[in-house]
Amino acid sequence: MMNYILIVDDHADIRRLLSITLGKQYEIIEADNGTAALYAIRKYRPVVVLLDVMMPGEIDGLQVLDAIKSNPMTRDILVAMVTARGQQADRDEANRRGADAYFIKPFSPLQVVNWIREHL
Amino acid sequence: MSEPTASPQPSENDSLRSQLFRYAQDLDELMQQHSRLQQQHGMILQSLGREVQGDDLLTAILAASAPLCLITDLQGRILRTGENGNKRQPLLGQGVPGLTLQQLLPVERHAALQAALARFAAQGVLASALQCSLPFQARLTPNGLTYDALAVPKQVGGRIEVHWFLQEGQSTDDSPMQFLMDLVHSATSENGVFLSNPFGTIAAVNQAFCQISGYEDWELVGNNPRILSSGRHENSFYQDFWLELLDKGSWSGTVFNRRKGGQIFLEWQTIKMVENEDGQVVGYLASAVDLSYTDPATRRLQTLAYTDPLTGLPNRRKLVDYLSQTLGSGHAQRHPLALLFIDLNRFKPINDELGHEVGDLVLKEVARRMGKVLLPVDLLARVGGDEFVVVLSGPRRADQAEQVANLLQHALVPSMPIGIHQLKLGASIGCARYPQDAEDMETLLKHADSAMYAAKRFALPFCFFDAGMDSKTLPNLEFDLWQALERGEITLLYQPQVRNDGQALRGCEALMRWKHPVVGDVEPSVFIALAERSGAIVPLGNWALEHACQQLRAWRDAGLLDLTLSLNVSVRQLRDPEFIRLVEASLAENHLPPASLELELNEGQAGMIIQNDTRPIQALRQLGVRIAIDDFGSSFNSLARLNTLSISSLKINAECVQELVHSADARAISNCMIAIGQALGIEVIAQGVENAEQAKVLQAQGCRVIQGFYSGRPVTAETLPALAQVSSTA
């Protein structure tokens, strides 16, 4: 079975960078908003979701996180928040809601790669 | 995007710019890492020595271990034989280089050979190795022998050479695998080698690979190399590795692996697929270099620090390292091992009398002989002057401690031709086992040492450690024996020899006793054997002779006129040109009739004298001294043969006497000896007589004199006259 990684970010360039970084080793799917992300999760069952917090639209990153972690079918998916919000309070909030990792933009691609490698 | 916000464009660009900057930083970091690794890699290759690069490592290791090696070009022309002055070249004459393999092989093999060479030509050094058998015609070997062969291509300068590693064929079905396993086992390089079967399961490892990985051979063999996996590589790494190996026939590169203890280390691996002539995969040969010490200087120092320069064996430090690693990692499953402590006997005199050069050659030869009877997985270390240690690791091997000790002893038996000398030496071996004898390394070593001392003390070839042994109470008896005389620790006791009819005293046998200041009374058979071996028997025997003669004089002065004094002599004494004069002088000084002195030789020694030189005995007989054969019946000499020494007495051995009452055979033997003695006019003395029944049987058979506990235990010189009185009044 393919190991899918879902990249959720409204910035196409960021999605592209991450896609280039991970695409050699994993199968990448992309979503530019929360609704598209939930759809992709149901359809592809990714093993990792890299999730931006602030996104335009009705569902933001934290709500996507809630949806993943509250559903027994999806709560084993590893979720890493990739966000510009670097406050400790933001980090704590994400932790509380079940995030598995927290990367602050601009993130180190090596750190992301290593984290995924360690956890897969 | 319904709600207009304060121009997102610049901030989006900013964040992208900063993100790209992070990428650049990571890239920089990666490049630095890469260049560091490249640098390391260069150093590693350098440290592997001269031309040895990548694929060549395997050929270099095998060249040092294969019994035979032929090097040909791609046309099959033999360029040279062996490398590094390979010593084991029993067959390949000087004339071989210049010939082609085709000339040495029967015509029907030419096509296959041609195909193999063509494949090497096409694929170069990356080509898989070829396993085949080469039925050489009589030209190369005396009768024409079939060899198992492994052909490996090697890049030399701009061209490809083919190295053919050869071993005499064993013509069995599993011969190819056995051959490859033999090659691996005998690879005594500091670099690891292992062989896996076509399914990847490890079939053989060499000692170095065990040391690098921290596993024992029995833990590795039968397992997949995956047990060494560090988890540092992604699955794709292994996929790529297998694809390349299967596609090209070989792979080399650096791999992170995990030692048994959990430590992760970097290894340079070269793996070669081995195919047979039909293109089937026979197995995979891999070499592994531990890159933990990448600095060549450090590596060389490490090697030096762990090697005994004389014998090339691991030294004490290596042993300690090995043990602490093995015992340290074994606490969970109590990995058993046996430690043999070996101390050479008679080495010191060789070193002292013949010089250190000879001593050094002896040590080298000892190391070589012992190494030959051990398995590659056993550790043999030289830990002191003439001290060696063998570690047998693993439950099955540890159980073989006694067998291995026997093999080691046997290996030392043949005399060693060193220069003009034919040297003979033996060893005392003590064994302690983990975990039953000791919980830690220091105790294990100490206990093995104690067991070795015990073996020395009791003159045994081998001894297991026993809780009662303590090295402090076990002094070196061989050494102490030389000083025993001066210290007055040696005394003489006298055992009466009694006439069997009227219990009158015929004489007595003088017996040496040694009371050691620490261990107390030393069993006579033990210290006599020690004295014989070390040469101390000559001063001891001479002292006993002089002392006993003085005693006999004293008794005669006290009125005991017709006593005969028996005394054991050793062949070593007889060989001493001074001995006859000493006997003569002792008799003269004490005004003793020569016939009152009886010198006893045991049967085996008497046999030796007959074979070599009977002159000393003849000289003694001319003096008028009596000669007795001791322990008659314990060896395989005929009395008729011994009688060429014109002996005067014959002593029936104690074992025979002990059986007399219960065994008709023993009675027949003693009867026969007594009859022959009577016929030849030789007095027969039965020794070891313990009870009246035995005395009665002997008397009925006509044996006139008995000696043993029944007629009297050995007594001091002062007590003997009293016994004479008792027996004469009885």
- How close A109 gets to chain B, by Cα (Å)? 6
A47 in any annotated domain: yes
CB–CB contact A11 B12 (8 Å): yes
Which value, in Å, is the radius of gyration of the alpha carbons in chain B?
A: 37
Q: In this structure, which topology does domain B306-474 adopt according to CATH? A: Alpha-Beta Plaits (3.30.70)
Looking at mean pLDDT, say which of B498-502, B708-712, B720-724 comes out highest: B708-712
pLDDT for the residue numbered B59: 75
CA torsion, ordered B435, B441, B444, B450, to nearest 10 deg: -170
List the single residue in B12, B22, B30 with the smallest CB-CB distance to A106. Answer: B22
Residues in A closer than 8 angstroms to B18, CB to CB, are 105-106
By Cβ distance, the residue of B19, B29, B236 closest to A105 is B19
| A109 touching chain B per CB within 8 A | yes
What pLDDT, on the 0 to 100 scale, is given for residue B52?
Answer: 41
Q: How confident is the model at residue B530 (pLDDT cuts 50, 70, 90)?
A: confident
What's the mean pLDDT in B554-568?
Answer: 88
Nearest to B532 by CA among B394, B663, B426, B653: B426
Q: Which candidate from A56, A107, A117 shows the least CB-CB separation from B22?
A: A107
The CATH class given to the B56-87+95-290 domain equals alpha beta
What percent of chain B is modeled with pLDDT above 90? 19
pLDDT of residue B54: 46
Q: Does any domain span residue A22?
A: yes
Tell whether B235 is within 8 A of chain A (Cβ): no
Residue B88 has pLDDT above 50, yes or no: no
Q: For residue A47, list chain B residues with Cβ-Cβ distance below 8 A.
A: none
Does position A6 have pLDDT exceeding 90, yes or no? yes
Provide the percentage of residues in chain B whose pLDDT is more than 70: 85
Residue B189, token pair as written in the block = 């390089």
- A11:B16 CB<8 A: yes
Residue among B277, B68, B289 at smallest CA distance from B179: B68
Instruction: Determine the pLDDT at residue B543.
Output: 93
User: In chain B, which residues fall in CATH 3.30.70.270?
Assistant: 306-474
> Where are the extended beta strands (E) located within B569-658?
597-602, 626-632, 649-652
pLDDT given for residue B471 in this prediction:
47
User: For residue A72, is it within any domain?
Assistant: no
The C-alpha atoms of residue B438 and residue B422 are separated, in whole angstroms, by 40
Output the CA torsion sign for B298, B300, B304, B306: positive
Cβ–Cβ of B15/A106 closer than 8 Å? yes
pLDDT band at B293 (very low <50, low <70, confident <90, very high): low
Rounded to the nearest angstrom, the minimum Cα separation between B4 and chain A is: 11
User: What distance in Å separates residue B228's CA from the closest CA in chain A?
Assistant: 18
A105 touches B at CB < 8 Å: yes
CATH of residue A27: 3.40.50.2300
Locate CATH 3.20.20.450 in chain B: 496-729
> pLDDT band at residue B202, thresholds of 50, 70 and 90?
very high
Query: Could you tell me if residue A68 is inside a domain?
Result: no
Average pLDDT over residues B533-539: 85
Query: Above 60 in pLDDT, residue B130?
Result: yes
Contact assignment for A17 to B19 by CB distance below 8 Å: yes
Q: Which of A89-93, B304-308, B390-394 has the lowest mean pLDDT?
A: B304-308
CB-CB neighbours of B548 under 10 Å: 23
More confident residue, B718 or A95: A95
- The more confidently predicted of residues B135 and B432 is B432
pLDDT over threshold 60, residue B717: yes
Which candidate in B11, B14, B22 is best for mutational testing of the A interface (most A CBs within 10 A)? Answer: B22
Range name among B299-303, B372-376, B512-516, B570-574 with the lowest pLDDT average: B299-303
Q: Which residues share a beta bridge with B462?
A: B429
Q: Which of B23, B29, B30 sits opposite A17 (nearest CB)?
A: B23
Are B711 and B509 within 8 A, CB to CB?
A: no
Interval B210-231: pLDDT, tens: 888 888 888 899 988 888 888 7
- Calculate how close chain A gets to B15, using CA atoms only, in Å: 7
Q: What's the confidence (pLDDT) of residue B10?
A: 52
Residues in chain B within 8 Å Cβ distance of A103: none
Q: What is the pLDDT of residue B82?
A: 66
The stretch B574-601 carries a mean pLDDT of 91
Q: Can you give the pLDDT at residue B458?
A: 72
Residue B386: pLDDT over 80? yes
In whole angstroms, what is the distance from residue B389 CA to residue B387 CA? Answer: 7
Q: Which residue has the tokens 């602030």?
A: A54
Higher pLDDT, B632 or A108: A108
Task: Give bridge partners of residue A106 from the DSSP assignment.
Answer: none
pLDDT at B56: 64
Which residues of chain B have a CB within 8 Å of the CB of A117? Answer: 234
In-domain check, residue A18:
yes
pLDDT band at B86 (very low <50, low <70, confident <90, very high): very low
Question: Is some CB atom of chain A closer than 8 A to the CB atom of B237?
Answer: no
Q: Please report which confidence band the pLDDT of residue B146 belongs to, taking 50, 70 and 90 as the band edges.
A: confident
- Which residues of chain A neighbour B23 with C-beta distances below 8 Å? 17, 109
- In this predicted structure, the answer to whether residue B391 has a pLDDT above a threshold of 70 is yes
- pLDDT of B203 reads 92
Pick the residue with more confidence: A91 or B290? A91
* Of the partner residues A25, A56, A105, the one whose CB lies closest to the CB of residue B15: A105
Task: Give the three-class secondary structure for B493.
Answer: strand
User: Rounded to a whole number, what is the largest CA-CA distance in chain A?
Assistant: 38
Residues of chain B with CATH 3.30.450.20: 56-87+95-290
Mean pLDDT, rounded, for B444-461: 85
Beta bridge partners of A101: A80
Q: Quick check: B607 pLDDT over 80?
A: no
Q: Is B580 a residue whose pLDDT tops 70?
A: yes
Judge: A11–B236 Cβ closer than 8 Å, yes or no.
Answer: no
Size of interface A-B (CB pairs under 8 A): 35
Contacts with A56 from chain B: Cβ below 8 Å: 1
Q: Per the domain annotation, does A112 fall within a domain?
A: no
- Which among B436, B425, B429 is positioned nearest to B453, based on CA atoms? B429
Q: B57 CA to chain A: closest CA distance, Å?
A: 32
CATH among 1.10.10.60, 3.40.630.30, 3.20.20.450, 3.20.20.70 for B496-729: 3.20.20.450
pLDDT band at B87 (very low <50, low <70, confident <90, very high): very low
pLDDT in tens, B625-679: 999 988 877 665 666 676 777 888 888 888 888 888 888 888 888 888 888 888 8
* Average pLDDT for chain B: 81
Mutate to test the interface with B, among A1, A5, A9, A11 (most CBs of B within 10 A): A11
**pLDDT above 90 coverage of chain A, percent:** 72
| CA contacts within 13 A on the Cβ side of B631 | 11
pLDDT at B561 over 60: yes
Among B45-49, B170-174, B178-182, B557-561, the range scoring the smallest mean pLDDT is B45-49
Higher-pLDDT residue of B569, B303: B569
Which residue is closest to A10 within chain B, CA to CA?
Answer: B12
Q: Which of B388, B391, B389, B369 is nearest to B378 (CA)?
A: B391
Which residue intervals of A71-108 are DSSP H helices? 88-96
pLDDT of residue B177: 81
Residue B557 C-beta-side C-alpha neighbours within 13 Å: 8
Kindly indicate the confidence band of residue B134, based on its pLDDT and cuts at 50, 70 and 90.
confident
What contacts B366, CB < 8 A, 6 or more positions away? B344, B388, B412, B425
C-beta atoms of A108 and B21 within 8 A: no
What mean pLDDT comes out for the span B406-411? 92
What does the pLDDT average to over B607-631? 85
Interval B240-288: pLDDT, tens: 888 888 888 888 877 888 888 777 777 888 899 999 888 889 999 998 8
Domain that holds residue A24: 4-59+78-107
| B26 contacts in chain A (CB < 8 Å) | 108-110
Coil, strand, or helix at residue B375?
A: coil
Q: Which residue of A has its CA nearest to B234?
A: A117
User: Quick check: is A90 in a domain?
Assistant: yes
Q: Which of A84-88, B165-169, B463-467 has the lowest mean pLDDT?
A: B165-169
Cβ atoms B154, B163 nearer than 8 A = yes
Q: What is the pLDDT of residue B381?
A: 93
How far B26 CA sits from the closest chain A CA (Å)? 6
H or E stretch at A40? helix A34-44
Residue B118: band (very low, low, confident or very high) from pLDDT cuts 50, 70, 90 = very high
Of B16, B22, B234, which has the smallest distance from its Cβ to A109's Cβ? B22
- The Cα B40–Cα B234 span in angstroms is 22
| B275-295 residues labelled b (16+ CB within 10 A) or e (exposed) | beeeeebbbbbbbbbbbeebe
Mean pLDDT, residues A77-88 taken together: 92
Asked if A25 is an interface residue toward chain B (Cβ–Cβ < 8 A), one would say: yes
pLDDT at A19: 92
pLDDT value, residue B638: 67
Which of residues 21 through 50 in chain B touch A, CB cutoff 8 A? Answer: 21-23, 25-26, 29-30
State residue B1's pLDDT score: 40
Please tell me whether the peptide bond between B475 and the residue prior to it is cis, using omega within 30 degrees of 0.
Answer: no
- Interface check for B611 against chain A (CB to CB < 8 A): the answer is no
What is the count of structural domains for chain A? 1
Contacts of A18 in chain B (CB under 8 A): none
Q: How confident is the model at residue A46 (pLDDT cuts 50, 70, 90)?
A: very high
Convert B651-685 to b/e letters by CB count within 10 Å (16 or more is b): bbbbebbbbbeeeeebbebbbebbebbeeeebbbb
Is A83 within the bounds of a domain? yes
pLDDT at B502 over 70: no
pLDDT, tens digit (0-9, with 9 covering 90-100), for B306-360 = 788 888 888 888 888 788 777 765 444 567 889 999 999 888 888 887 888 888 9
Give which of A58, A103, A105 to mutate to test B binding, by max B Cβ within 10 Å.
A105
